[in-house]
Homo-oligomer: A and B are copies of this chain.
Amino acid sequence: MLTTTADPTVTAVVDAAAAAAEVWAATTPAQRRRALDAVADSLDAHVDELVRIAIAETHLGEPRLRGEVKRTSFQLRLFGEVLADGAFLDAQIDHADPQWPMGAPRPDLRRVLEPVGPVVIFAASNFPFAFSVAGGDTASALAAGCPVILKAHPGHPALSVLTARLVTAALADAGAPDGVFALIVGDGAGRQALTDPRVKAGSFTGSIAGGRALFDLANSRPEPIPFFAEMGSVNPVFVTAAAAELRAEAIARGLLDSFTLGAGQFCTKPGVVLVPEKSSVIEHLVSMTLPAPAPMLNSRIQAGYTAVLADLADHPEVSVLAGGPSGVPTNYEGEDPPGPTILVTGIAALLADPDTLLTECFGPTVLLVTYSDESELLAAARSLDGQLTATIAGEPDDAVVPELVRLLAGKAGRLLWNQWPTGVSVTHAQQHGGPYPATTAPSSTSVGTAAITRFLRPVAYQGFPTALLPAALQDSNAEGIPQRVDGVLVQRGSEY
């Protein structure tokens, strides 16, 4: 490993985060809720200014960006509700039991989840609000009681600085300690923070190469720490023969809208779509008016997109049905954005060369894969790496479906039935994750209320007097937190 000189400004940021960690961890959930609400209110109050800068830096449209601010402030407030509910603490109380049948008396044991400490978060480019400075990782880490060191994405530097200023001011106004949130800039700063022994977890949204490098760095520390990277996915779609027969045009329309949404710059974009070779889905798709070319986020994204697209289009078994790499400048400077591209290949080619054909192509491209027999859908499912999503367009009576669902549940974090994977709702049951390389932590999610558990760890207290126990573990349970008492869930005094 290269030894580099520590940047004193980054060291000072970690100093402040480490000092804030003890104070922030000792706040009540209600105090943290007020702080999250204050951040949400500030984002909403400054939406015009935020969106103006975001348009200039990301080329995303105003309606999308306004919607994303709304989603981001909603997300902060939803974690406030999680804090008020208290179930996230997973409070467990086992009273002493001299007759415990393991052969030795059970002591009084109580367990609760507590914050891990300072967290480094690497922001994404494609959601400048929802997966950036004040995004889901920040909301869940702050809610958990962990200070946040936010490594800005270079794709929207001015927006990052403004958002960080709003977040910092709102947190301070709400009484949060100095150092509970800070922005850092540059890859070196990010690596320094991630390897600082006082940092206890990291998270990331972006490419496989970038996420894996940081995951490896986090694990190479003398004290390895959990690193939650959300990375690449081709989000396969499986169209059964019956669905294609019944709804070819609707499927084509839904697919076109989904893979071109936001210029295809979603980690959940449907990138590979298996369709029956004899269906009219492809016919419908290529006969539709393609949406106008839309500008991509920045030159680096566009260069990466065109390189992967060129490789795919050059594959001997792949044909270009619409669009294609020619004429798309790799050095995007705001002109000549790429139009949508539709590629096609056959199932045999996919199974023969999955490493190439199942590569994520981050932009408005879809690869159609024709099959002749539905059993080939199962072979395709088996050939997959880990995915964020997998989608079935099918009919409930399709013979292949039960087995296909079972296989895909082993490969993806979220399965969809006759819906499209773009658009990730922020809810309790959401799961935005999946086996590697979709993420480095398949048991975690980066969207939805369960995301808070990434930044918590259990601590058990054995034989403690009430006054020394965390509030959530006291028998009196003044806050009415859900507790599992002697193995039975109890809330507000009533067994359930």
- Chain A 422-443, CB within 8 Å of chain B: the 1/0 string? 0101111111010111001111
Instruction: Return chain B residues, CB-CB under 8 Å to A467.
Output: 396
Supposing A26-B406, A442-B116, A487-B428 touch, asked if A459 and B415 sit within 8 A by C-beta, the answer is yes
Instruction: Return chain B residues, CB-CB under 8 Å to A410.
Output: 25, 114, 117
**Cβ A429 vs Cβ B102 within 8 A:** no
- Which residue of the partner chain B has the closest CB to A405? B468
**Cβ B435 vs Cβ A443 within 8 A:** no
Question: Which of B94, B216, B401 touches A427 (beta carbons < 8 Å)?
Answer: B94
A71 in contact (CB, < 8 A): yes
A103 in contact (CB, < 8 A): yes
The stretch from A105-113, A147-155, A282-290 touching chain B is A105-113
CA distance A401 to B461 in the complex (A): 14
**Cβ A442 vs Cβ B457 within 8 A:** yes
**Cβ A460 vs Cβ B429 within 8 A:** yes
Instruction: Return chain B residues, CB-CB under 8 Å to A215.
Output: 219, 224
A226 in contact (CB, < 8 A): yes
A386 in contact (CB, < 8 A): yes
A34 in contact (CB, < 8 A): no
Instruction: Return chain B residues, CB-CB under 8 Å to A409.
Output: 114, 459
**Cβ A416 vs Cβ B102 within 8 A:** no
CA distance A111 to B409 in the complex (A): 11
- Chain A 66-83, CB within 8 Å of chain B: the 1/0 string? 010011001100100100
A8 in contact (CB, < 8 A): no
Query: In the complex, which residues 350-372 of chain A have their Cβ closer than 8 Å to any Cβ of chain B?
Result: none
Least distance between A408 CB and chain B CB atoms (Å): 9
A186 in contact (CB, < 8 A): no
**Cβ B417 vs Cβ A458 within 8 A:** no
**Cβ A223 vs Cβ B102 within 8 A:** no
A412 in contact (CB, < 8 A): yes
- Which residue of the partner chain B has the closest CB to A394? B468
Instruction: Return chain B residues, CB-CB under 8 Å to A440.
Output: 224
**Cβ B459 vs Cβ A71 within 8 A:** no
Supposing A102-B74, A219-B216, A406-B26 touch, asked if A468 and B85 sit within 8 A by C-beta, the answer is no
Least distance between A339 CB and chain B CB atoms (Å): 26
The stretch from A159-167, A177-185, A488-496 touching chain B is A488-496
CA distance A401 to B223 in the complex (A): 27
**Cβ B223 vs Cβ A425 within 8 A:** no
Question: Which of B22, B85, B457 touches A487 (beta carbons < 8 Å)?
Answer: B85
**Cβ A430 vs Cβ B111 within 8 A:** yes
**Cβ A435 vs Cβ B457 within 8 A:** yes
Question: Which of B67, B78, B418, B486 touches A104 (beta carbons < 8 Å)?
Answer: B67
Supposing A116-B442, A442-B116 touch, asked if A413 and B67 sit within 8 A by C-beta, the answer is no
Closest 6 CB pairs of A and B: A496-B496, A431-B460, A92-B429, A74-B102, A70-B103, A111-B429
State the A residues within 8 Å of B (CB).
22, 25-26, 67, 70-71, 74-75, 78, 81, 85, 87, 92-94, 100-104, 106-107, 109-111, 114, 116-117, 200, 215-216, 219, 223-226, 385-386, 396, 401-402, 405-406, 409-410, 412-419, 423, 425-431, 433, 435-437, 440-443, 445, 450, 453, 456-465, 467-468, 482, 484, 486-487, 489, 491, 494, 496
Other than the given A224-B440, A442-B457, 19 more pairs (CB < 8 A) read A67-B103, A74-B101, A74-B103, A85-B487, A87-B484, A94-B427, A94-B429, A94-B430, A100-B425, A107-B419, A109-B430, A200-B435, A223-B386, A412-B459, A414-B462, A417-B463, A431-B460, A450-B458, A496-B496
